[in-house]
């Protein structure tokens, strides 16, 4: 019942649009700031690895090992992927374009930041993102996804209604 309400109710689509715009603005401005001001993930990565030590580590050993063996040696790749990924997720959510894909990749980044021992707004953004991803097409109804669906360009994921 709640899922169909979230996925089909027009009033809920307005609330979802507001949440989507908030998340989009947050991601977009974070990415834009990093692009304009330069971004180097080296310090963040080293800090996350350091948080894996001690009696009560904030970062799990398997994640710190991944960061040490893959992320640190490829920091230049992450210096590009993080700001441009944040910008792309933000743009997708602001425009309502490929909404569920955009919010999915935003969730991946939120989890990566939290795995690295950073909370900030990540838990809040992740919680709001769950509503967007579960709502599916209804979250992008007032955006490019909705326009494309009306014009028949993008069918979206239709749920079959069966009466058993």
- Asked, for residue 160, whether it belongs to a domain, the answer is no
Q: What is the pLDDT of residues 81-140, one digit of tens each?
A: 999 999 999 999 999 999 999 999 999 999 999 999 998 999 999 999 999 999 988 888
Q: Is residue 86 part of a domain?
A: yes
Q: Does 43 reside within a domain?
A: yes
DSSP alpha helix (H) spans, 38-143:
42-50, 61-66, 75-95, 99-115, 122-135
Q: Which domain holds residue 46?
A: 2-150
Q: pTM for the full model?
A: 0.87
> Quick one: pLDDT at residue 162?
47
* Distance in angstroms (rounded) separating the CA atoms of residues 70 and 136: 33
How many helices (H) and strands (E) would you count in the chain? 8, 0
Residue 148 clears pLDDT 90, i.e. is over it: no
Q: Domain for residue 82, yes or no?
A: yes
Residue 59 lies in a domain: yes
Contacts of 53 (CB under 8 A, 6+ apart): none
pLDDT tens digits, one per residue of 20-48: 999 999 999 999 999 999 999 999 999 99
Q: What is the pLDDT of residue 163?
A: 45
164 assigned to some structural domain: no
In a domain, 21, yes or no: yes
> How many independent structural domains does the chain possess?
1
């Amino acid at each position: 019942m709640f899922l169909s309400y979230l996925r089909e109710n027009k009033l809920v689509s307005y609330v979802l649009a507001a949440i989507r715009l908030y998340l989009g603005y947050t991601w977009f401005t974070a990415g834009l700031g990093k692009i304009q001001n330069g971004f180097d993930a080296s310090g963040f990565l080293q800090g996350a690895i350091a948080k894996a030590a001690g009696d009560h580590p904030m970062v799990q050993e398997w994640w710190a090992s991944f960061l040490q063996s893959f992320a640190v040696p490829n920091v230049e790749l992450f210096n590009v992927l993080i700001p441009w990924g944040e910008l792309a997720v933000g743009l997708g959510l602001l425009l309502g374009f490929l909404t569920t894909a955009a919010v999915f990749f935003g969730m991946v980044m939120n989890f990566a930041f939290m795995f690295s021992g950073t909370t900030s707004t990540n838990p809040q953004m992740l919680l709001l993102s769950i509503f967007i991803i579960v709502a599916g097409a209804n979250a992008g109804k007032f955006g490019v996804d909705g326009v494309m669906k009306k014009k028949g360009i993008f069918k979206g994921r239709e749920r079959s209604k069966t009466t058993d």
